[in-house]
Amino acid sequence: MRKSEKRKQCMRDKHEKKQEIKSQSHTVNIAPTEKKETPEGTNGDQETDLVDPLPTKLQRTVNCRLKSDLIICMVTAVFVFGIHCSTVFTALQPEINPVLWSVAGCVGLLLHYIMPQLRKQLPWLCIARPVLRSHEHSQYEVKGAARVMWFEKLYVYLCCFERNILYPVVFLACLTSESPAIVRKVGPYAASIVITICALKCLRCAFSHPPSQYLILAFACLFFQLDYAAASETFLIDYFVTAIAFSKTHEFLLKVQFVVTYIAPWQITWGSAFHAFAQPFSVPHSAMMFLQAAISAALSAPLNPFLGSAVFLTSYVRPVKFWERDYNTRRVDHSNTRLSSHLERNLGADDNNLNSIFYEHLTRSLQHSLCGDLILGRWGAVAQGDCFVLASDYLNCLVHIIELGNGLVTFQMRGLEFRGTYCQQREVEAISEGVEDNEGCCCCEPGHLPNMLSLNSAFSQRWLAWEVTATKYVLEGYSISDNSAVSMLQVFDFRKVLVTYYVKSIIFYAVGSPCLETWLSSPVIMEALQPYCDRNFVDLDPVFNMNIDEDYDFRAAGITRNSFCHIYLDWIQFCADKRDKAISDKSKESAVVSLCFALSLLGRRTLGAASHNTLSSVDFFLYGLHALFKGDFRITSVRDEWIFSDMDLLKKVVAPGVRMSLKLHQDHFMSPDEYEDLSALYNAISLHHQKLVISHEGDPVWRNAVLAGTPSLLALRHVLDDSGDEYKIIMLNKRYLSFRVIKMNRECVRGLWAGQQQELVYLRNRNPERGSIQNAKQALRNIINSSCDQPIGYPIFVSPLTTSYADTNEQLCGIVGGPISLGTIKRAVLQFWTRVRRRCVEGCSSGGSVPHDEGGFGHEGVYAMTTYNIHSGYGHTGSQSIEGTMGRGGSLGRSGNRGSIASAGKPSSSTLASLAGLLTAAEKQEEKEQVLQRVRIVDPNQVYDAINLGRRIDVSWPDERMRARGGRSHWRDWLPEKGMEGQVVHRWVPSHRDPNRRSHVDRTILLVKIEDRYVPIAEAGVVDLGAEV
């Protein structure tokens, strides 16, 4: 049940006290800016503006689609006009039309009824598991993208045939044969209008809603060709009328199903006393109820339950979108609030506002893949206006299909709360529970047949307004883990570890900064550092404590330079040695040590001041840590004002040091002794700096990083609500998530939405515990009502109308190809010509008498994976790898010099080469486009690890630096392994005219850049991940 529709934003007394003390004691605010570090690291060297990649991606997709549609329209116009002018459809009449109708009906029955039923979770609500199962169906946890199955390919091919060939031929045959009859009946001018409207609607329905076309076709044929043949007005007009009647009849049946399911006496849930009264009162008015259903179906108006009871009323007409306004959730962050607001009042610090970004990312993922997945049939039969629920462990959202088109779908997502209400949790459990184990039959339990549902389960599934269409729908998203920061910092030793990592992180960023020489040469900074250079210097600030400061000198009752150097001098010198530009003096009395000493004192004093000098309490410690984490640095000591001489000391040293210390503290719990090794600590900080985004969730950088798909993110969350004051460490990892897809009766959704509007807007019922929003598992009433627009419902995110294109789904493009363009046609012709030329060259050289070199040409440098451990390094020379490669097949050695033999002795080869020279510019353009791609290694045995030795038999490298880093002579103990990803920077093609791009074997070799190494690998050993963005 709903505790409160609007969560309280009041502060606790302790928090108010903290703010009061803070406002009285702090004098300077260092605010976080809207220009932050880049998403690739926690703090980039240069501040960059936030750029959303979505507009550019959409513009590129729409441009490609417009070009493709222009080409297809011209080609289709030529074919249609040619076929229409021929005698194909006139000479074969009247036999051809019934044949086409029969083929269309059989194909539609197979595609839109049999195959979707076989792929459902409960086929025909009788079988306990899908007959056509996806590869991920039996997996407990999804590890990668969904695999394309054979029946999905078959489904796509048949749907393309039906949509692009079969139905256009059916309607073209009718237009060709029946247009004269329409002209004779209504005249040429009226006939042109009738034919245009009817043909356009028929073709549009065939593209926008194929699942119902075979039924419309069957009813049109049976009704107007057999039952009432005298009423027929040509098949084209018959089909037009039948389509409208079918749509209204189907809507009427959906409303009746909703009504009957909702008021069934054995599953009705009474949310209030009025419901108990209305249930028997509605029985005598059943006839009127069904009459209202027919009227509302004719008007396309929702049929809503009055106050959530069993009494139904017809509402006013709504569009498919239903909600009138263009709704778009605006997330509260630092980019749209005042500086004083998010520093003092901490606006937006509630779970709902912070979690809304995950639904926004999920919307982006759906925008990328939804249209392709619908075409692949992964959501079953989908029509315009359908509503689906996507349910996972913590993400539960409603997806409303607004419009379906040819290769596009427009949808709207409504994300529900992570911490759902009691009613929502009960309904989520209902859609997640399995019914396969139920063995009941009426009042006994005789069991059921293997892989079949019991009688009770089959009966109960038929009395639901929803059904599970898929249990393992794979979508890219983030796995979210939140740990309580209080438990991790409750003990003094844990706080000491955090402060130690804090100081070491400050040293790392200070010594590694390119501005270090500038700081050490600044007269203002060096003058401020003079007191710290005294070896007898001691800082007696009471904020320092022996319980949390490892370098605390209890004899001096403070922190001295000697105690600091005793703990951190080795780390300073290690970081100095790692600099690209060496530091001349890094001794104990050097200026760099003084700078690190002063920055460490400043950082800890800032933390103590933000914690109100009460580091002994974990609550105050976390309050101060969170203030520094979000960028609220307040300098209160006169000794620390030297930091204002260069604000980069705060932005690029102290601020990232706070955030990095939190990540290192997280790692400490996994391996407490790992970071005692200075090299391991340095490598860890460097890796986190490059790969991990550590930011406050109110920072626009956080939103930009999530929407850009950054692999890992870390944040410290401070939640203030009516339940208390809580700190959480949020860790995000990008991975593939598994969702259950539940298809709901769309008239049930529209009816419940209309009922909530009527109750709250017109009847003014503001009761948060009203009966109309209580759980009703048969209709998912609470989930549907929670997804209404605010303030009627309480979704934490509502997306704008979002359009997904089929061209952005890589799996679909891999089956049917991407958008058609002149460049695509040119590349296809060039590839065909290249293959023809290659086959001709091979055929010309196949009968030559020149002996082939079997002694290592083509084998030399092939990376051989034998039975020894791949992590043991290379202990064999290039010639020793020949035996391993010949074991996999000797094609490399036999055909490595085949092209050169043919070129030397056969004039036909030169003739073909001269012809190919006409297309040189196009080939270069093709190769330039092909290089910009990303690949994943799937077979490390295809790696060529010794073709960079500069021998005559080796390939020509594009760059000397690439050659030096392109073999095991540079890799040493590093080996390419399966799953590694990289960007293709060059390729060698067999028999290429350019020696720099010519492969020395009969296969294409790709040069893949992985980090700072270059890996030559055969094209068959990688899988294409698409264009590099």
Q: Please say whether the beta carbons of 13 and 619 come within 8 A.
A: no
Q: Report the pLDDT value the prediction gives residue 341, as an integer from 0 to 100.
A: 57
The rounded distance, in Å, linking the Cα atoms of 944 and 922 is 29
Tokens 């109308």 belong to 801
> How confident is the model at residue 5, as a pLDDT?
42
pLDDT tens sequence across 5-17:
444 444 444 444 4
Q: 560-577 pLDDT, tens per residue?
A: 999 999 999 999 999 998
Judge contact between 134 and 472, C-beta under 8 A.
Answer: yes
Q: What's residue 283's pLDDT?
A: 74
Nearest to 32 by CA among 431, 343, 483, 285: 343
pLDDT digits (tens, 9 = 90+) for 185-205: 888 899 999 999 999 999 899
Average pLDDT score, the chain: 81
Confidence of residue 992 (pLDDT cuts 50, 70, 90): confident
Confidence of residue 448 (pLDDT cuts 50, 70, 90): confident
At 890-948, the pLDDT tens digits run 333 333 333 333 333 334 444 444 444 444 444 444 444 444 688 899 988 889 888 88
- Report d(CA 136, CA 321) in Å as an integer: 33
Higher pLDDT, 1025 or 201: 201
pLDDT tier at 84, thresholds 50, 70, 90: confident
What mean pLDDT is predicted for residues 162-190?
90
Give the model's confidence band at 83: pLDDT under 50 very low, under 70 low, under 90 confident, else very high: confident
Task: Say what the pLDDT of residue 1027 is.
Answer: 63
Average of per-residue pLDDT across 338-363: 71
Both tokens of residue 812? 């679909």
How far apart CA 685 and CA 663 sit, in angstroms, is: 9
CB within 8 A of 35, min separation 6: which ones?
Answer: 47, 48, 49, 50
pLDDT over 90 at 307, yes or no: no
pLDDT computed for residue 877 by the predictor: 36
CA angle 583, 588, 590 (to 5 degrees): 45
Residue 22 banded pLDDT, cuts 50, 70, 90: very low
Task: Answer whether residue 75 shows pLDDT above 70.
Answer: yes
The pLDDT of residue 467 is above 70: yes
Q: What is the pLDDT of residues 737-787, one digit of tens each?
A: 999 999 999 999 999 999 999 888 888 887 777 877 887 888 898 899 999
pLDDT number for residue 775? 79
The pLDDT assigned to 899 comes to: 38
| Residue tagged 């530091």 (tokens) | 583
Q: What average pLDDT does this structure show over 178-191?
A: 89
Which residues, other chains included, contact 736 with Cβ-Cβ below 8 Å and sequence gap of 6+? 142, 143, 144, 145, 474, 475, 476, 477
Strand pairing partners for 719?
726
Residue 368 has a pLDDT of 92
Least confident of 270-284, 589-603, 980-994: 270-284
Task: Quote the pLDDT of residue 241.
Answer: 94
CA dihedral for 70, 73, 75, 77, sign (positive or negative) = negative
pLDDT mean over 1016-1025: 89
Tell me, what amino acid is at 1015?
Answer: V
Q: How far apart are CA 511 and CA 594, in angstroms?
A: 11
Intra-chain end-to-end CA distance of the chain, in Å? 46
Per-residue pLDDT of 489-524, as tens digits, reads 888 888 899 999 999 999 999 999 988 889 988 899
DSSP class of residue 762 equals I
Query: Residue 367: which H helix or E strand, with range?
Result: helix 351-375
How confident is the model over 792-826, as pLDDT tens digits? Answer: 888 889 999 999 999 899 999 999 888 888 888 88
Segment 838-876, tens digit of pLDDT: 888 766 644 443 444 433 333 444 443 333 333 333 333
What is the per-residue pLDDT across 685-718, written as a single tens digit (0 to 9) for each? 999 998 899 998 888 888 888 988 889 999 998 8
* Beta strand pairing call for 408-415 and 797-798: antiparallel
CA dist 192 and 519 (Å) reads 82
Transcribe 844-857 into DSSP letters: HHTT--PPP--SST
Nearest to 800 by CA among 321, 370, 328, 402: 328
Q: Is the pLDDT of residue 18 over 50?
A: no
Provide the residue type at 179 as one letter: S
pTM for the whole structure: 0.75
DSSP state letter for 129: S
